[in-house]
Amino acid sequence: VSALASMRLERSDLHRGLEDPVLQSMSFLNEIMSRFPDAISFAPGAPHPSFLSGVDVAKYIESYVDHRCKNGVSPRLARQSLYEYGPSQGIINDIIAESLRVDAGILAKPSDIVVTVGAQEAMLLLVHALCPSQRDLLAVVSPCYVGILGAAKLLDVEVVAVEEAGDSLAFDQLARVCRVARKRGHRVRALYVAPDFSNPSGTRLTLQSRMRLLDAAEAEDFLLLEDNAYAFTADPLTALPTLKALDKTGRVVLIGTFSKVCFPGVRVGFLLADQIVRSADGSEQGLAECISLSKSMVTVNTSPVAQAIVGGMLIEHRGSFAELGREKSALYRRNLGLLVNTLDRRLRAATGLTRGVTWNHPSGGFFVRMRLPVRADLALLEISASKFGVLWMPMSTFYVSPKGGTDELRLSCSYLEPNEITEGVERLVRFVRSLRP
Ligand SMILES: Cc1ncc(COP(=O)(O)O)c(C=O)c1O
């Protein structure tokens, strides 16, 4: 046996997106957590471990196969379809469409859905399809999920930021961004927005802001890419309609994920794109169908085994995504409430201590945004981890501009136990007390 030789390549010969810090943010999390295994980590937005044990995938696959058999497919074919290549658009589109109907009142045709390898693939395929030239810009409500920024980087698509403003967004900036784009001969093709408890800031858009955003998309002629990853964590009594449910003119493409409600290792998400694409010869095709063509050259199809697990999980919960997520949603709300209340009690109680330290009070999602009187950068994180045993995520990762979020951090409560949250806040109190503005 001889060792393999390694050839040296020049970084400058690789795609320049690969150098972007955004692409390193996922591995950065793993790296810092493995270096400080005893630290309490408010860093990753990972699911609570209790939801990952005892997942009976065989049972869910059986439920899916049974469901197909009840609808007239032979048991042999229903089972065989799991082990074959499948249609690029997916095999559980009807089950997803039904869950959108029962949970959100969205009447989607299965043929307008593409089942993707996580929401991440949906983002990549959408940015690829909608921004074909240098003139096509992607706007994002900022700060935003790194997955969309990374997808745009890999595709060389220019991203422009529209800042959040309280529980709304800077509509005047949105209008300006569109105007400036037009002046440059460019166009804003789509705006990425997570209206329910966004990652990283936990912001939720009010109903009024949602309506205004739909009007703005119509007036400025762009699509809305709605990512509703955390909508399931809303208190059912105060849940707001998705943009897609409010969409009267077909401007919204919905991006969904099963990572939070099933489990992330299943790698299943979807997009609902019911827009119609006109060709020069007058023929028409659904946008979802168009996008499934590019999917067939990226991942061919989403694993039918993984789709069957998700399909079975939904069927076992009366076809409802909300029902499937109910227990998880309650646990995440409990954790978030505990984090916010403990911050309020412990950090605010120490008078003088909270000067220049502020945090928001989201009512759902996984995240709390905190502002410090100093730079919340990697050097400070290193100190926080090594001296105080507490980890968090610097917020600057989630901004388009390098100047964004430099004094902010993100705290995630999703995968901690209550005693870890309270102890973690005690450590944060000691860390914050040590800061010298
Ligand atoms: C805003 C947002 N969208 C989507 C996802 C999930 O993506 P995926 O389905 O690729 O796991 C996450 C996960 O962290 C997220 O925070």
* 145 Cβ below 6 A of ligand 1: yes
Q: Which residues contact 154 (CB under 8 A, 6 or more apart)?
A: 15, 17, 23, 124
pLDDT recorded at residue 97: 98
* 196 Cβ below 6 A of ligand 1: no
Q: How far apart (Å, rounded) are the C-alpha atoms in residues 115 and 117?
A: 7
Residues found in the chain: 437
* 47 Cβ below 6 A of ligand 1: no
* 227 Cβ below 6 A of ligand 1: yes
Local structure of residue 404 (DSSP, 8 states): T
What is the Å distance from ligand 1's center to 348 Cα?
32
What is the mean pLDDT of the segment spanning 117-140? 98
Where residue 320 falls among pLDDT bands split at 50, 70, 90? Answer: very high
Q: Which amino acid is at 401?
A: S
* 90 Cβ below 6 A of ligand 1: no
* 307 Cβ below 6 A of ligand 1: no
pTM for this predicted structure: 0.97
* 365 Cβ below 6 A of ligand 1: no
pLDDT recorded at residue 283: 95
Which of 25, 257, 268 should be mutated for ligand 1, with most atoms under 8 A from CB?
Answer: 257
CA Rg value for the chain: 22
What is the mean pLDDT of the segment spanning 360-381? 96
Share of the chain above pLDDT 90, in %: 90
φ, ψ of residue 204 to 5 degrees: the values are -120, 130
pLDDT at 437 over 80: no
Residue whose CA lies nearest to ligand 1 atom number 14:
45
Contact 332, 233 (CB under 8 A): yes
Distant-in-sequence contacts of 128-135, Cβ < 8 A, 24+ apart: 128/155, 128/294, 129/287, 129/290, 129/291, 129/294, 130/189, 130/190, 130/223, 131/155, 131/157, 131/189, 131/190, 134/158, 134/186, 135/185, 135/186, 135/187
Residue whose CA lies nearest to ligand 1 atom number 2:
229
What is the mean pLDDT of the segment spanning 409-424? 97
Contact 337, 422 (CB under 8 A): no
What is the Å distance from ligand 1's center to 256 Cα?
8
* 269 Cβ below 6 A of ligand 1: yes
* 412 Cβ below 6 A of ligand 1: no
Where residue 103 falls among pLDDT bands split at 50, 70, 90? Answer: very high
pLDDT digits 0-9 by tens, 326-356? 999 999 999 999 999 999 999 887 656 667 8
φ, ψ of residue 431 to 5 degrees: the values are -65, -50
Residue whose CA lies nearest to ligand 1 atom number 7:
119
Contact 283, 276 (CB under 8 A): no
Contact 187, 168 (CB under 8 A): no
60: nearest Cα among 258, 306, 303, 322 = 306
* 233 Cβ below 6 A of ligand 1: no
Q: Which atom of ligand 1 is nearest to the CA of 145?
A: 1
Q: How far apart (Å, rounded) are the C-alpha atoms in residues 312 and 288?
A: 23
Contact 222, 191 (CB under 8 A): yes
pLDDT at 29 over 90: no
Q: How far apart (Å, rounded) are the C-alpha atoms in residues 73 and 52?
A: 31
* 100: enclosing H helix or E strand: helix 93-104
Q: Which atom of ligand 1 is nearest to the CA of 264?
A: 11
Beta bridge partners of 191: 139, 224
Rounded (10°) CA dihedral 121, 122, 128, 131: -150
φ, ψ of residue 89 to 5 degrees: the values are -75, -25
Helices (H), 264-416: 287-295, 304-316, 321-342, 348-349, 378-388
Distant-in-sequence contacts of 378-387, Cβ < 8 A, 24+ apart: 381/32, 383/431, 384/431, 385/32, 385/35, 385/36, 385/39, 386/36, 387/431, 387/434
pLDDT recorded at residue 353: 62
The dihedral region occupied by 112, where left means phi > 0, alpha psi between -120 and 50, and beta the remainder, is alpha
On average, the pLDDT of the chain sits at 95
Which of 115, 254, 259, 321 should be mutated for ligand 1, with most atoms under 8 A from CB?
Answer: 259
Q: Which residues contact 245 (CB under 8 A, 6 or more apart)?
A: 104, 105, 106
What is the mean pLDDT of the segment spanning 197-223? 98
What is the mean pLDDT of the segment spanning 218-244? 97
Contact 207, 99 (CB under 8 A): no
Where residue 33 falls among pLDDT bands split at 50, 70, 90? Answer: confident
pLDDT recorded at residue 31: 85
What is the Å distance from ligand 1's center to 400 Cα?
18
Which of 199, 232, 254, 398 should be mutated for ligand 1, with most atoms under 8 A from CB?
Answer: 199
Distances in Å between the alpha carbon of 222 and those of 20, 163, 187, 189?
27, 17, 8, 5
Q: Which residues contact 344 (CB under 8 A, 6 or more apart)?
A: none
pLDDT digits 0-9 by tens, 47-96? 999 999 989 999 999 999 999 999 999 999 999 999 999 999 999 999 99
Contact 36, 391 (CB under 8 A): yes
